[in-house]
Amino acid sequence: MADTLRYRDDEPVDHPAVTVDSFLDQSNASAVRIEPGDDARELLPHLDRLALVEVNFPAFGDGRGYSSARILREAGYEGELRAVGDVLVDQLAYMRRCGFDAFEPDQRFDMEDVKSAFERWPEVYQKAADTRTSIWAKRHP
Amino acid sequence: MYKYDQYDQAMVDARVEEFRDQARRRLEGRLTEDQFKPLRLMNGLYLQLHAYMLRVAIPYGTLDSRQMHALADIADKYDRGYGHFTTRQNIQYNWIKLEDAADILADLAKVEMHAIQTSGNCIRNISSDHFAGAAADEVVDPRPYAELLRQWSSFHPEFSYLPRKFKIAVIASEKDRAAMRLHDIGINIVTNDVGEPGAAFYVGGGMGRTPMIAPCINSFVPLDQLVTYAEACLRVYNRHGRRDNKYKARIKILVHELGAEEYTRQVEAEFAHLLDQGVEPPLAELERIKGYFEDPLFETAADSQIDRIDPDFALWIDRNTVAHKADGYVSAVISLKPVGGIPGDATAEQMRLMADLAKDYSFDELRVMHTQNIVLPHVRKADLHALWTALDAAGLGSPNLDTVEDIIACPGLDYCSLANARSIPVAQKISERFAQTGKTATLGELKLKISGCINACGHHHAGHIGILGVDRKGVENYQLLLGGSEAEDVSLAKITGPGFDENGIVDAVETVTTVYERERADGERFLDTYRRIGMNPFKEALYG
């Protein structure tokens, strides 16, 4: 847990995440791990019992997890959404915009780099799964 | 022309600093080349055979004289005094140092330009009709829609690690001058039965090693749902596009494997969901953007007489100018295809001249064509002689638009690490041959396109005549294709048979034009004759 960057105030889930298949087979798990090929929409009927969704990035160039994250947030999921695996500091800003609020990278981040990654973008064009006001909304208040 | 406000400027400025930081971390060894590669690609920086290549975005091919001057200055300051205009209406520089790249991006940002997403597995620069805002046949100017999509796709948080690159073209005319249906998404702005404008979406086209013509998946998306629909198309692709094989990762493969109907069903379901998510910009934003694309103040009584006494000038008028929506005006095409030259290349001096002429004669506006030429979109007929005189003196007066000399060619093995064969020398030899024999004039419209490998950057699938360079046991070999078109009569070219060596392919092109001359009926283009008589007469002449 020491290497997890968390942007939430609640207590972290204290048991390991299970696979999507295993999660759907039981009724007591509250943490699940999505692999790139999994369909995040299968989790939507069970959001109320989920406290942690880990989205695995086995390779940083596989961007399916960004869509998985947004789909969960768009459906109203408010628990922890953690990007795990080959997660690079240059991806943090976009991941945050897609709804991730925790990061557990294979390679430890330099915290100065993390700080500049989050401070980098003064504005955003699009509406996404975060709370930022888009340029479009600012132009047409 | 679109102008940045403080928000647009803040975004490109932030991008420069982000890239400066990334390049620094790479040079310090804190980023591996594998980690750095997608980051530099998303800033247009490729590693080629001899050096880095930087591809600068020219959104929908439109730029002003100040921007063209800046491109010339970059060519002089950081490269070897020239640049190469590309088939996606961009410019690339072939001899760039990594250490200079951030400074170049900073120079670009000063003139509201960038290299954002000109490469990499993300949504690329949006292309459009090079005669937008000038063409007599357009429904509306397509560029405001392209600009809206530029903003939407820039730094898109969900779609920056797609299975593969993603190219969007927007047109607004029945005439397709942007190869719209050979894009990942082609959008045609149309009007419905009651005169309301909307967007027809064509998805899953492309060239490359598996060429496909995009099917129409929705013939009318209301304009206040345009971005949402695009987002739905992309999300289905990002989730389900193949990632196991980069050669099958483009959206055309997904649409083909699922079938257009099933892909459409999934998009419509995603679209229905996204409509409630508020991703669409307010319609007022489109109106704001449209304000930048209003017509310049055309003279209402501009003189339409042209003095055609000089035959060279008259020929250039006939070949290189195109009808304009305003009386007394034309769009004038500056050919970057001098006989024996490198298609699409321009020196810094030529760029400066084109910029100055645009300022003097075309309301300060230039366009890059996907055929690697430059357009001055709004020229008074009365100014044409002065314009032509200046162009001709600078080697920019070639009267060869849409002729066999107006060749699209990829950089090929002279620059590109993917190429199997050289493209440029073949283009040079062909234009020299046809100029020498004088046949350029008699063949009329004949679109010839050359790629140095199966990735098809030279659009050979869409050539009336296409040439594909391959490697055959270590020797460059060229296959000949016939019958392609990227226009509204879109079709994919078919291969004639066994390939030829470098000189043989030049002879082969001449041979097929001879068949055309023999067989053509009145008014038929090469393509029309081919479509009427089929492949066999050409095969017989080639292989006997």
> B515 to chain A nearest CA, in Å?
50
User: What's the structural domain count of chain B?
Assistant: 4
Percent of chain A at pLDDT > 90 equals 94
Q: What is the pLDDT, as a whole number, of residue B300?
A: 86
Q: What is the pLDDT of residues B415-452, one digit of tens each?
A: 888 999 999 999 999 999 999 999 999 999 999 999 99
Asked if residue B286 and residue B152 are part of one domain, the reply reads: yes
Closest Cβ–Cβ partner in B8, B158, B243 for A66:
B158
Q: What is the pLDDT of residues A66-112, one digit of tens each?
A: 999 999 999 999 999 999 999 999 999 999 999 999 999 999 999 99
Best B17, B161, B238 residue to mutate vs chain A (most A CBs within 10 Å) = B161
Asked if residue B201 and residue B167 are part of one domain, the reply reads: yes
Give the CA angle between residues B294, B295, B298 to the nearest 5°: 155
Residue B529 region by backbone torsions, left for phi larger than 0, else alpha for psi between -120 and 50, else beta: alpha
Residue B302 has pLDDT above 80, yes or no: no
Which of B392, B417, B432 finishes a domain?
Answer: B392
Q: How far apart are CA B362 and CA B378, in angstroms?
A: 5
Which of B392, B420, B442 finishes a domain?
Answer: B392
Q: What is the pLDDT, as a whole number, of residue A1?
A: 45
**Residue contact A125–B155, C-beta within 8 A:** yes
Tokens 């750095």 -> residue: B36
Asked if residue B430 and residue B365 are part of one domain, the reply reads: no
**Residue contact B239–A121, C-beta within 8 A:** no
Task: For residue B405, give the DSSP letter.
Answer: T
Q: What is the pLDDT, as a whole number, of residue A28?
A: 87
What average pLDDT does chain B have? 96
Is the torsion defined by CA of B335, B385, B177, B128 positive or negative? positive
Q: What is the pLDDT of residues B262-299, one digit of tens each?
A: 999 999 999 999 999 999 999 999 999 999 999 999 99
Cβ-Cβ contacts under 8 Å for B220 (sequence gap 6 or more): B190, B192, B198, B199, B200
Contacts of B282 in chain A (CB under 8 A): 136-137, 140
SS3 call for A77: coil
Q: What is the pLDDT of residues B43-57, one digit of tens each?
A: 999 988 888 999 999
Q: How far apart are CA B423 and CA B139, in angstroms?
A: 37
Alpha helices in B154-195 (DSSP H): none
SS3 call for B293: helix
**Residue contact B30–A110, C-beta within 8 A:** yes
Q: What is the pLDDT, as a whole number, of residue B51?
A: 86
**Residue contact B157–A123, C-beta within 8 A:** no
Residue B526 has pLDDT above 90, yes or no: yes
- Amino acid residing at B3: K
Q: Taking Cα atoms as reference points, which of B536, B469, B454, B533 lies closest to residue B504?
A: B469
Which of B392, B417, B439 finishes a domain?
Answer: B392
Establish if B151 touches chain A: CB-CB under 8 angstroms: yes
The reply to whether B120 falls in a domain is no
Q: What is the pLDDT, as a whole number, of residue B265?
A: 98
The reply to whether B74 falls in a domain is yes
Confidence class for position B305, pLDDT limits 50, 70, 90 = confident
Structural domain containing residue B216: 142-290
Asked if residue B43 and residue B103 are part of one domain, the reply reads: yes
Contacts of A75 in chain B (CB under 8 A): none
Q: What is the pLDDT of residues B112-124, one digit of tens each?
A: 999 999 999 999 9
**Residue contact B5–A139, C-beta within 8 A:** yes
Closest Cβ–Cβ partner in B161, B279, B285 for A140:
B285
**Residue contact B38–A61, C-beta within 8 A:** yes
> B71 to chain A nearest CA, in Å?
26
Asked if residue B385 and residue B273 are part of one domain, the reply reads: no
Q: What is the pLDDT of residues A4-56, one digit of tens each?
A: 999 999 999 988 999 999 999 988 899 999 999 999 999 999 999 999 999 99
Asked if residue B176 and residue B81 are part of one domain, the reply reads: no
Asked if residue B270 and residue B154 are part of one domain, the reply reads: yes
Cβ-Cβ contacts under 8 Å for B268 (sequence gap 6 or more): B218, B232
Is the torsion defined by CA of A129, A132, A138, A139 positive or negative? negative
The reply to whether B305 falls in a domain is no
For chain A, domains (ranges, CATH) are: 5-139 (3.40.50)
- B77-80, long-range: CB within 8 Å, 24+ apart, which pairs? B77/B107, B78/B103, B78/B104
Establish if A93 touches chain B: CB-CB under 8 angstroms: yes
Q: What average pLDDT does range B327-353 have in this prediction? A: 97
The reply to whether B121 falls in a domain is no
Give the CA angle between residues B231, B236, B239 to the nearest 5°: 115
SS3 call for A29: coil
**Residue contact A98–B158, C-beta within 8 A:** yes
The reply to whether B197 falls in a domain is yes
Contacts of B30 in chain A (CB under 8 A): 110
The reply to whether B342 falls in a domain is yes
Establish if A135 touches chain B: CB-CB under 8 angstroms: yes
Asked if residue B359 and residue B446 are part of one domain, the reply reads: no
Contacts of B156 in chain A (CB under 8 A): 125-126
The reply to whether B48 falls in a domain is yes
Query: Is the Cβ–Cβ distance between A32 and A20 less than 8 Å?
Result: yes
**Residue contact A134–B154, C-beta within 8 A:** no
Asked if residue B281 and residue B205 are part of one domain, the reply reads: yes
DSSP B201-216: EEES-B-TTS-BPPPE
> A36 to chain B nearest CA, in Å?
8
Residue B407 has pLDDT above 50, yes or no: yes
- β-pair partners for B104: none
Query: Is the Cβ–Cβ distance between B138 and B100 less than 8 Å?
Result: no
- Amino acid residing at B399: P
CATH number for B81: 3.90.480.20
Is the torsion defined by CA of B340, B343, B347, B350 positive or negative? positive
Q: What is the pLDDT of residues B179-191, one digit of tens each?
A: 999 999 999 999 9
| Residue A109 burial by Cβ neighbours in a 10 Å radius (0-12, 13-18, 19+) | middle
The reply to whether B164 falls in a domain is yes
Asked if residue B167 and residue B197 are part of one domain, the reply reads: yes
**Residue contact A88–B159, C-beta within 8 A:** no
Confidence class for position B68, pLDDT limits 50, 70, 90 = very high
Task: For residue B521, give the DSSP letter.
Answer: P
**Residue contact A134–B14, C-beta within 8 A:** no
CB atoms near residue B314 (< 10 Å)? 15
Establish if A108 touches chain B: CB-CB under 8 angstroms: no
Asked if residue B264 and residue B338 are part of one domain, the reply reads: no
Q: What is the pLDDT, as a whole number, of residue A35?
A: 97
Residue B301 has pLDDT above 90, yes or no: no
The A residues from 18 to 37 touching B (CB cutoff 8 Å) are 36
Is the torsion defined by CA of B203, B278, B223, B117 positive or negative? negative
Q: How far apart are CA B372 and CA B392, in angstroms?
A: 18
Closest Cβ–Cβ partner in A36, A60, A120 for B18:
A120
Asked if residue B152 and residue B262 are part of one domain, the reply reads: yes
φ, ψ for residue B66, nearest 5 deg: -60, -40
CATH number for B158: 3.30.413.10
